[in-house]
Amino acid sequence: MKSTSPLIAADNSSRIPTYTGKEIVDAIDRLYPRVRTPLAHSNVFQLLIATVLSAQCTDAQVNRVTPRLFSEFPDAVTMSKAKINRLEQLIKSTGFFHVKAKRIKDISSKLISDFDGKVPKTMEELLTLPGIGRKTANIVLSAGYGKVEGIAVDTHVFRVSRRLGLTAASTPEKIELDLMQITPERSLWPRLSMLLIFHGRRTCFARSPACERCALSEKCLYFSQVKTSKG
């Protein structure tokens, strides 16, 4: 995932992080709402399924889909028995609906067979569910169980972290480790992830980031490169 584009700075193993995680939180915390997750849910199972559906889809669209989905299939038992074509119909607007329908059905079946229908409470166990990686597991543990095991790295966290110069890594797993290292205050991890997500959605856009109104531009690696290139 290396890129020579200024949108994502090239890897540099000797790079010194521009900000600490606490500095990020202190700088932009007031700019974004204090929500644990924008995904609507009434229990941990619904949170897990909604998070799976949110891949390559907006939270707002997922929230439009899940009320009807969960009214028909409210738990792992009912969803594991659902017909794939019905699931596809219900979640089609979230994109990649063939893959997602199979995944949420397989996850539900796994929950029934291995966890008595309950969403597990450990990272190790969550990672045994079909298609579940650390990002989803971190969201479920934090927002569902109040457990902080790591930092959820989605596409926005990936992009913004590298632009700012917080990390030179090119995989979500390594970026997560780097963010954890620059944020020794474990209690800040969920908020840091959420803030970077909001910042990526509202300011640090994938194309044409709004650097002129960014509260982090002072020490941002990307912004310094853009200024230098413009002379």
pLDDT given for residue 16 in this prediction: 67
Our answer to whether residue 11 is catalytic in this structure is no
pLDDT in tens, the chain (231 residues): 333 333 334 344 445 678 999 999 999 999 998 887 899 999 999 999 999 999 999 999 999 999 999 999 999 999 999 999 999 999 999 999 999 999 999 999 999 999 999 999 999 999 999 999 999 999 999 999 999 999 999 999 999 999 999 999 999 999 999 999 999 999 999 999 999 999 999 999 999 999 999 999 999 999 998 866 765
Q: Are 83 and 158 within 8 A, CB to CB? A: no
Q: Which of 75, 135, 174, 178 is catalytic?
A: 135
State the amino acid at position 131 in one-letter form. G
The distance in angstroms from the start CA to the end CA of the chain is: 28
- Sketch the domain layout of the chain as residue ranges: 21-34+152-229, 44-145
Distance CA(221)–CA(161), nearest Å, equals: 10
Distance CA(174)–CA(167), nearest Å, equals: 9
CATH among 3.90.420.10, 1.10.3720.10, 1.10.340.30, 3.10.20.30 for 44-145: 1.10.340.30
Q: Which of 92, 100, 110, 154 is catalytic?
A: 154
pTM of the entire predicted model: 0.87
Distance CA(180)–CA(192), nearest Å, equals: 10
Q: Is 231 helix (H, G, I), strand (E, B) or coil?
A: coil
Give me the sign of the Cα torsion angle 161, 171, 228, 183. positive
Q: What is the 3-state secondary structure (H, E, C) of 164-209?
A: HCCCCCCCHHHHHHHHHHCCCCHHHHHHHHHHHHHHHHHCCCCCCC
- Which architecture characterizes domain 21-34+152-229 according to CATH? Orthogonal Bundle (1.10)
Distance CA(140)–CA(59), nearest Å, equals: 15
State the amino acid at position 211 in one-letter form. C
Our answer to whether residue 219 is catalytic in this structure is no
